[in-house]
Amino acid sequence: MNQTVYPVSAEWRQRAYVDAEAYARLYAQSLSDPEGFWREQAQRLDWIRPFTQVKDTSFDEADFGIRWFADGSLNIAANCLDRHLETQGDVPAILWAGDDPAESRTITYRELHAEVCRFANVLKAKGVRRGDRVTIYMPMIPEAAMAMLACARIGAIHSVVFAGFSPESLAGRVTDCDSSVIITADEGLRGGRKIPLKANVDEALGHCTACATVIVVRRTGGPVTMVPGRDHWYHELRESVPADCPAVEMGAEDPLFILYTSGSTGKPKGVLHTTGGYLLWAALTHHVVFDYKPGEIYWCAADIGWVTGHSYIVYGPLANGATTVMFEGVPTYPDFSRFWQVVDQFGVNIFYTAPTAIRALMREGDEWVRKASRSSLRLLGSVGEPINPEAWEWYYSVVGERRCPIMDTWWQTETGGHMITPLPGAIPLKPGSASRPFFGVQPQVVDPEGRVLEGAVEGNLVIADSWPGQMRTVWGDHERFFQTYFSTYPGKYFTGDGCRRDADGDYWITGRVDDVINVSGHRMGTAEVESALVAHAKVAEAAVVGMPHDIKGQGIYAYVTLNANEEGDDALRAELVRWVRHEIGPIATPDVIQFAPALPKTRSGKIMRRILRKIAEDAVDQLGDISTLADPGVVDHLVANRHRAI
């Protein structure tokens, strides 16, 4: 294969914190002497009680446990705010760009600190105590970050639920972690359209009894119904609380947040991250991978509803005293130039987005990019899904004008932060490759039996040992945590991803090998979409698989068997699409619904997804052996009625 390689430029070798020699040395030390390495790295945080223990971890069933810096204590909000006040109180912490280009806000570290203290006091006044769960269902406004930091300041555990999720999904997450408070806004604003967040909360609370208090931030001034005793305006509550709020001392292993994510089976899992290791991981990766230098303007265009927003809009950048841009809108509104207009507006130096956005903009042509100068840009990032070399080259040459290296960062909600990624001053770039492991990360490629494969190979990606940013448990289900990640390949963390390692030792992520699909960089469990479909009165059975999609990376292909006497027509298709959007949210919208009189099953009744995937990919010449099916005739009908290219 003729592989393009972009070597590290002389300029980047000079300016970066980590060059090739330093990467080799530090990476080797992080594996040979993890205690020494992490003891030193952890000095970038302000500890209240310094730790004496560093790494106390085991992936083995007998003594399974993950603890880092366990006897140390610190407060995350103090690390992200208070310690920066003296030297850079007047530096912008958040630059906010509204959905409407005419709206923007600048919030300095001093202002952010003051508002987080207020918010924390509001939570305390509403009875929130250390360890209590607070659900945050918010648009991309600074108050969302303030709410997260307010929880961290008083030791409450936040659970941010993406504002695109339905009331049903919200209710499930509020109930699962038993939140006593929901923080929301009257409405969200995206692409000129309003999202009725408070009304969604009202509907969600119709489904569950867990939550006693709703705090509503005013964003649009749109109409809302306030339930007396339960619902309160934030701007009113904040008038009645003191301005000052001490940051509580938290143990390094005390929980910081829960974030729900989809798996291959069952309901979404509450991924739990703790305090010391998580913050260190978010801060160190932000510093080294983006080579953030004081005074630079950094923009991660994700949503705080996903882990990318937690680690790389809020915690990592603020722990480093960076200026972080927060964007309320979408890349295509008011036109396809919006990203680049915001880059010019704030003079953004570092820009981090997902391949799906790059592909969507690439399709619209280069003029939209060229309309803006982008002269401030010096580094680009990609996250969420594999980036195809064509999109990579466009991002590199058109957006970055061949002067900005691209960090293709592979990681997961579970990993807390970057795991496999180039470093701008150290590692040559190959379009489509996430390249090399970050410090302390030990990737291995294994075959289905768990044998470790050496050299240039393809297989399943596992991580052989713990790193500080790792999730610690599934909220309320520690057994599920162990089973999901550590039982497939005993003694190792299984990522759920497949990968290839080339002869240079660079890693290429090939995508999920489990029943998780990645739609526009958002994780979706096929089981969740199936259970939404079968909850419809006319549906008997459903099987959902991923299909290739030009913009989204993967689309959702659903095979649906109807109850006897039901007719599968376009009207029912549209109804089922509406139904799934209502049950889960727009991100779960099926791209294709194929009505099927029956699904291909083994004689023991197991659905053969391999076959369904091939049909959805339109690779019907690769169905493989179908003789083990209970009724091989089913396949002919599916093939004849398959849906081709969208």
User: According to the binding rule CB under 6 A, does residue 169 interact with ligand WT7?
Assistant: no
Q: How far is the CB of 488 from ligand WT7 (least distance, A)?
A: 14
From CA 631, how far away is CA 313, in angstroms rounded?
52
Q: How far is the CB of 185 from ligand WT7 (least distance, A)?
A: 24
User: According to the binding rule CB under 6 A, does residue 410 interact with ligand WT7?
Assistant: yes
Q: How far is the CB of 408 from ligand WT7 (least distance, A)?
A: 5
Task: Give the residue among 486, 502, 485, 515 at the shortest CA–CA distance from 445.
Answer: 502
**Kind of pairing, strands 181-185 and 133-137?**
parallel
- If phi over 0 gives left and psi between -120 and 50 gives alpha, with beta otherwise, what is residue 278? alpha
Stretch that binds ligand WT7, among 14-22, 35-43, 511-519, 614-622 (CB under 6 A): 511-519
**Kind of pairing, strands 443-446 and 457-463?**
antiparallel
- 538-557 residues in contact with ligand WT7 (CB under 6 A) are none
SS3 132: coil
- Going through 171-322 in order, the beta strands assigned E by DSSP cover 181-185, 188-190, 193-195, 213-217, 231-233, 250-251, 255-261, 269-274, 297-300
The residue among 201 and 463 lying less far from ligand WT7, judged by its C-beta, is: 463
The residue among 251 and 422 lying less far from ligand WT7, judged by its C-beta, is: 422
Q: How far is the CB of 365 from ligand WT7 (least distance, A)?
A: 25
- 485-504 residues in contact with ligand WT7 (CB under 6 A) are 495-497
From CA 506, how far away is CA 433, in angstroms rounded?
7
User: According to the binding rule CB under 6 A, does residue 614 interact with ligand WT7?
Assistant: no
From CA 385, how far away is CA 260, in angstroms rounded?
18
From CA 305, how far away is CA 260, in angstroms rounded?
9
Task: Tell me if 493 sits within 8 A of 60, measured CB to CB.
Answer: no
Site string for ligand WT7, 221-260 (x = CB under 6 A): ----------------------------------------
The residue among 274 and 413 lying less far from ligand WT7, judged by its C-beta, is: 413
The residue among 200 and 261 lying less far from ligand WT7, judged by its C-beta, is: 261
Residue nearest to ligand WT7 (CB): 413
- 347-366 residues in contact with ligand WT7 (CB under 6 A) are none
Q: How far is the CB of 445 from ligand WT7 (least distance, A)?
A: 15
- Going through 340-492 in order, the beta strands assigned E by DSSP cover 350-353, 379-383, 406-409, 443-446, 452-453, 457-463, 473-474
From CA 558, how far away is CA 535, in angstroms rounded?
14
Give the residue carrying structure tokens 């983006």: 290
Q: Which residue in the set 45, 144, 509, 558 belongs to the binding site for ligand WT7 (CB under 6 A)?
A: 509
Task: Tell me if 131 sits within 8 A of 319, measured CB to CB.
Answer: no
CA dihedral sign of residues 277, 281, 283, 288:
positive
Please confirm whether the linkage preceding 196 is cis (ω < 30° from 0). Answer: no
Q: How far is the CB of 148 from ligand WT7 (least distance, A)?
A: 17
Site string for ligand WT7, 289-328 (x = CB under 6 A): -----------------xxx--------------------
User: According to the binding rule CB under 6 A, does residue 526 interact with ligand WT7?
Assistant: no
Helical ranges in 264-386 per DSSP H:
276-289, 307-309, 316-319, 338-346, 355-362, 367-370
| Residues touching ligand WT7, count (CB under 6 A) | 23
The residue among 113 and 173 lying less far from ligand WT7, judged by its C-beta, is: 173
Other Cβ atoms closer than 10 A to 178: 14
User: According to the binding rule CB under 6 A, does residue 117 interact with ligand WT7?
Assistant: no
SS3 603: coil
The residue among 135 and 409 lying less far from ligand WT7, judged by its C-beta, is: 409
Stretch that binds ligand WT7, among 316-324, 382-390, 558-566, 581-589 (CB under 6 A): 382-390
Q: Which residue in the set 159, 409, 470, 520 belongs to the binding site for ligand WT7 (CB under 6 A)?
A: 409
- Is 5 annotated in a binding site? The answer is no
Give the residue carrying structure tokens 């889960």: 584
Stretch that binds ligand WT7, among 35-43, 105-113, 384-392, 437-445 (CB under 6 A): 384-392
Binding-site residues = 190-193, 308, 384-386, 408-413, 497, 512, 520, 523, 534, 536, 539, 581
Question: Which positions lie near ligand WT7, rule CB under 6 A?
Answer: 261, 306-308, 383-386, 408-413, 434, 495-497, 509, 511-512, 518, 523
